[in-house]
Chain A
């Protein structure tokens, strides 16, 4: 997919693109019960092409959210790769098996068709249960958007990455991978607050899937819209330079800094330099997506999701709500 649009080309249509993505979000929300925050984050991360980690117990719509997003964007199975990782998963299972014909010729190549390297959207379930070989592969994919074929780096087609886990283990070797997920959201059961609605929506979804209908697939936006949005933001960032105050007023910027500092100092939430930069990018993305302008105080609500460890997630969410006076 060519991503060579110029700023001028995109500038003419960006408001339409933005509007379609926003409508897409509302369209997707209809198929879930009390998952507003998850859907919004999924879209923001999709627009910024940053990975999102869904943390929660089984049966809390983690994979359903990703699957519906993929289908709603009009993507087919060839664009989507989903895999549940275990400690026994081998790189071949996600990157593709070794091509035996080429191996006979002395080339160590993988057959990547239908596997992670060729998919636009990737969903990895139980990501922290993977072994070291997979972890190293994923870090390369996440950092450099490439993997190695016979010692040569080969780009992957992946645009969006979602991952799910029941828990975030406190093991140092997993910290690097966890840090790549700037935003992590807890998917909590909703049955206690929306029992009736949950049963109704759940039965409707079951029935629709049973008869092969996928009304959510008819989403207003497409993957191309997301790519255009990302391209537009990238071009904007490149020019932002001295104009940062225009896109992020000093008072809001200072608030962003304060909250990050407070979380680090008082709650011992580690925020790496890389994370700070990506966080700013995500805040800017959300601001432009939701109201098409400079960052506002409310856009800082993304800070609720920057906790690293499982036990930090609710603490950070509560703290940010208090600091920012959010509901």
Chain B
């Protein structure tokens, strides 16, 4: 063996530098054979051929000991791996064992025991015998340690990054990268002692199952299927159960007539939900089937049952038409097919199983009750719509004959004339109120046609909102009076009188017949007059004073006292008209000022009230569009079906979200009364639920349980659902529920504390004139927290607004504007600025509005919490709209537009806010542009997952004011992009929270008619409020 120059490895970090130098200067030596020999504590390496012929760094003279030296095939093999401290779990490992040894079998058994059936096994022919190679990712630490610790014959290697070089676990090769590059398509296993094993190809193999033969040799026996089927007779019976809401009643004629009480005051929606069928029983008697269909609002079942004195029948879950008594259930539960057979459910659309004389009775209804109860009713007269308390007792029979008359009797013969006459006789009462008689007497078909045409012509003008033409209101009031719609006629005539129409008071007085003296005194002196009493009293006062008739002694003072009350249930217009007329008669300028302040204060706090100030035709038209409620619901249901089709098409098998999507859409269809869609979806959810993870199951149950349930029980339902979950699962379920708008329990109202200011303010509320000085002092002293100061100032502002005193509000605005910059925290400052802006708008203080719009728009770009900003300025924007300050409102929105266009996570939220703002302000072009921009951002690439979802949710919320088709189109695009709505919550193990929440939002956007209605109505009320404010101010100035 030659004495030569070689390398001396010391085990220090310099070794690596030495080896790299050799690799750089002598690349040919890397794959050439080397002599390796220990020299003391070091390791000497000498190339068999080549190398350096002189002692220059890193080459040193080396004398090899022939007894110690070994020949390595290449440099990498010559260098032993070095030990690495710790027991890190590698990404990938392979285990090597002799197939002939028990160790291989034990290894496979342990892998299976630890659930690692993802391992891949290969068998290799090696010189020392057949070897088993097991490769798996993220190997169990136990097996790694076991292979390392125990001399069982299992070796374990970890892969060096993604290279074909595998080094013993706990070791690393200093030249791993270079060594891997020289493997030429094969792979190598390197032991801790430096032994190399070459593999012709990279480790891989077959699934572990292919290498396992389960061994069990128990005594065997085989059972074969027996022919035929044994049927066991199980008696089906009705047993007591927790009562359900009734949905069906079988009534005789007397019971049916008791519905008059309901018919007289039920809403159109309710009357559409109740359907009736007229049937002939086996004994020839006429019976009525009354059914309640699902719909919006609270169920009517309990109310109807109480009225009829019959608990009614409830549908058996899972069936379409089987009804049993509400407090019974079928025992034992049997399959639907068996129920169909035994009860012959296919023979009739509805089947009733109830009890008669203690024995079961089966009734097949040949025709389903499908004519809406509303179609059985013809209103010949009505009365003041708000008289639902004391007046109800008299109004029960004011629905004139024939009250119950089927318009299009389905599948049953019409009642015989004789029978109808006898029904008429039973219903007729000798003491019909005079009002009804009077109106009924005026009805003439020709007049009705003319009036109907006139009303149809004028109503659109009113529906536009902000109508200040007295003649239009009066003409419409007259037409509606002819048509017998006393309520709306009165409201229209009150508006006409308010706007100064001279004929309106007389017409108003005639509408229901002049209130007699006794009734007038009673209405004026009773503690709380009914709406009917109050409005007729107002009408009488206006009519008498308009005609120059003197009022009864003392009546004027009492009426003034009464009509100054902000909570009096009459229209604000009538209230002002009465007060204005009385003050004008007495020449009381100060009194008129007080009345004005009271009315303006009420407007500041509550605005116009839907129930008192909006005629029914306005509420109906704006709530339901131009069509009937059912048509609107049908459109909504069709839109929702379309969206469901899109979502369903993209669902994959086993998608955990699928269950929740179905549940969410089932809720949506149920809201729209679309049982054809909601029931199968709910049943599918029930059916598929068991294959899903427990938290997903629980959430699906919560969704289905939310149908028809009230908000108050949410907490209890959540707790019940979490009882069966593990703590981790329950945490996941609670996390989702907290974020869900449908499932999250309504917490107690947030306590907006004001600290020490609370008590001081409570005392000052009795003397509001001191408030501006107090607020000024509080802001100047700034002795408390900014949040407390801001809330106290906002509260004081509200008190001032409630007084209706412009002077006081101006004082408050001056105090707020003077000291607002004392607040250094932006959120409280925005809160106060928003409240002040609202106040400034309501008192039409343009200077203050300008200053505050500047203040808020200045704050907006600096505020990081956009949510706080929007909640602070939202009411201010609404106030600007209400008072018609469109310029300020536009400027305000334009400033926010700049915030919305900034590349900011919360920009879409601002954009959605803007879009809704523009839409409600009637600027559809801007609104569309804003919502387009929001959508583009939400579906674009720049947002992270959470802002993306929040932007989409804000967009869906804003869209509720849009027409149905626009909502549907945008919701569809969101659904198509649903896979983009990822999240990084720990709950991902079970479900993608944000996707499900987005689906919730989509369903809400389509199937929540209430918000849709309220947005349009709100706009109408805001427009009318502007007219009211302008007129009140004009009257007051004119009088002065």
1/0 per residue, CB under 8 A from B, across A303-314: the answer is 000000011000
- Near B by CB (< 8 A), chain A positions 228-285 give 251, 254, 257-259, 261-262, 265-266
Count of chain B residues with Cβ under 8 Å from any Cβ of A?
16
Give chain A residues whose Cβ lies under 8 Å from the Cβ of B727: 310-311
User: Contacts of A325 on B, CB cut-off 8 Å?
Assistant: 110, 113
74-126 of chain B: CB within 8 A of chain A: 87, 89, 110, 113-115
Q: Which chain A positions have C-beta within 8 A of B115?
A: 322
- Residue on B nearest A254 in the bound complex, by CB: B149
A323 and B728 in contact (CB under 8 A), knowing A265-B87, A265-B89? no
> Are B145 and A322 in contact, with the CB atoms below 8 A?
no
Q: Which residue of B is nearest A264, CB measured?
A: B141
Q: Is there an interface contact between A323 and B150, defined as CB atoms closer than 8 Å?
A: no
Given contacts A311-B726, A311-B727, A311-B728, contact A262 B149 (CB under 8 A): no
Q: Are A259 and B142 in contact (CB under 8 A)?
A: yes
**Residue in contact with A258 in the complex, picked from B89, B114, B149, B726, CB distance below 8 Å:** B149
A262 near B141 (CB under 8 angstroms)? yes
Q: How far is the CA of A325 from the CA of B110 in the complex (A)?
A: 8
| Any A CB within 8 A of the CB of B514 | no
The B interface, classified by DSSP as helix, strand, loop or mixed, is helix
Q: Which residues of chain A are within 8 angstroms of B142 by Cβ–Cβ distance?
A: 258-259, 262, 323
Beyond A311-B727, A311-B728, is A258–B146 a contact (Cβ under 8 Å)? yes
B141 touches A266 (CB 8 A): yes
Does residue B140 face the partner (Cβ distance < 8 Å to A)? yes
Q: In the complex, what distance in Å separates the CA atom of A323 from the CA atom of B106?
A: 12
Could you say which residues of chain A place their CB within 8 Å of the CB of B141?
Answer: 258, 261-262, 265-266
Contact across chains for B145 and A258 when beta carbons are under 8 A apart? yes
Which chain A residues (284-307) contact chain B, with CB distance < 8 Å? none
Output the nearest chain A residue to B726 by Cβ-Cβ distance: A311
**Assuming A262-B140, A310-B727, A311-B727, is B89 touching A323 (CB within 8 A)?**
no
Judge whether A322 and B113 touch: CB under 8 Å.
yes
- What 0/1 readout, one digit per residue, does chain B (138-173) give for beta carbons within 8 Å of chain A? 001110011001100000000000000000000000
A159 vs B110: C-alpha distance when bound (angstroms): 41
Q: Tell me how far the C-beta of A313 lies from the nearest C-beta in chain B, rounded to whole angstroms.
A: 11
Q: A258-B146, A265-B141 are in contact. Are A323 and B726 (CB under 8 A)?
A: no
B residues 699-746 with Cβ under 8 Å of A? 726-728
A253's nearest neighbour on chain B, judged by CB, is B149
Bound-state Cα–Cα, A259 to B142, Å: 7
Residues of A within 8 A of B114 (CB): 322-323
A122, chain B: closest CB distance, angstroms: 29
A275 CA to B87 CA, complexed, in Å: 21
CB distance from B85 to the nearest CB of A (A): 14
* Residue pair B150, A254 in contact (C-beta under 8 Å): yes
Which residues of B lie under 8 Å from residue A257 when comparing CB positions? 145
B680 to chain A minimum Cβ distance, whole angstroms, is 35
Contacts of A254 in B (CB 8 A): 145, 149-150
Is the pair B145, A261 in contact by a Cβ cutoff of 8 Å? Answer: yes
- Measured CB to CB, the closest approach of chain B to A186, in angstroms, equals 13
Q: Which residues of chain B come closer than 8 Å to A262, judged between CB atoms? A: 140-142, 145
Taking the nearest CB of chain B, how far is it from the CB of A224, in angstroms?
Answer: 42
Which B residues are CB-close (under 8 A) to A265? 87, 89, 141
Report the minimal beta-carbon distance from A84 to chain B, rounded to whole angstroms.
Answer: 24
- What residue in chain A is nearest B149 (Cβ atoms)? A254
Q: Bound complex: CA of A266 vs CA of B728, how far in Å?
A: 17
Distance, CA A322 to CA B87, complexed state (A): 21
Q: How far is the CA of A261 from the CA of B141 in the complex (A)?
A: 8
Which B residues lie within 8 Å of A266 (CB)? 89, 140-141
A226 to B526, CA, bound (A): 88
Of residues 26 through 74 on chain A, the ones whose CB sits less than 8 Å from some CB of chain B are none
Residue of B nearest to A309 (CB): B727
**Closest beta carbon of chain B to A307's beta carbon, Å:** 13
Give Cα A325 to B143, complex, Å.
13
By beta carbon, the residue of chain A nearest B142 is: A262
B145 and chain A: residue at smallest CB distance: A258
How far is the CB of A253 from the nearest CB of chain B, in Å?
10
Nearest CB of B to A322, in Å: 5
Report the Cα distance A183→B146, complex, angstroms.
25
Interface string of B483-508 (1 = CB under 8 A from A): 00000000000000000000000000
A310: nearest chain-B partner, CB-CB:
B727
Q: Can you name the residue of chain B whose Cβ is closest to the Cβ of A311?
A: B727
Please indicate the chain A residues that have their CB under 8 angstroms from the CB of B728 in the complex: 311
Q: In the complex, what distance in Å separates the CA atom of A118 from the CA atom of B141?
A: 47
Q: Mark A87-103, 1 if CB is under 8 A from B, else 0.
A: 00000000000000000
B217-237 CB contact bits vs A (8 Å, 1 = yes)? 000000000000000000000
Residues of chain B contacted by A323 (CB below 8 angstroms): 113-114, 142
Give the distance to chain A from B373, nearest Cβ to Cβ, in Å.
53
Q: Roughly how many angstroms separate A251 CA and B146 CA in the complex, as a whole number? A: 10
**Residue in B closest to A314 when the chains form the complex, CB atoms:** B726
Residues of A within 8 A of B149 (CB): 254, 258
Please, how many angstroms separate the alpha-carbon atoms of A271 and B515 in the complex?
88
The docked-state distance in angstroms from the alpha carbon of A304 to that of B893 is 65
Within 8 A of B (CB), among A195-237: none
CA–CA, A307 to B600, complex, Å?
Answer: 69
Query: In whole Å, how far is B385's beta carbon from the nearest beta carbon of chain A?
Result: 58
CB distance from A300 to the nearest CB of B (A): 13
Closest 8 CB pairs of A and B: A258-B145, A262-B142, A254-B149, A262-B141, A311-B727, A322-B113, A265-B141, A323-B142
Chain B interface (Cβ within 8 Å of chain A)? 87, 89, 110, 113-115, 140-142, 145-146, 149-150, 726-728
A–B Cβ pairs within 8 angstroms, 16 of them: A251-B150, A254-B145, A257-B145, A258-B142, A259-B142, A261-B87, A262-B142, A265-B87, A265-B89, A265-B141, A266-B89, A266-B140, A266-B141, A311-B726, A311-B728, A325-B110
Task: Other than A262-B140, A323-B113, give 19 A-B pairs with Cβ distance below 8 A.
Answer: A251-B150, A254-B150, A257-B145, A258-B141, A258-B145, A261-B141, A261-B145, A262-B142, A265-B87, A265-B89, A266-B140, A266-B141, A310-B727, A311-B726, A311-B727, A322-B115, A323-B114, A325-B110, A325-B113
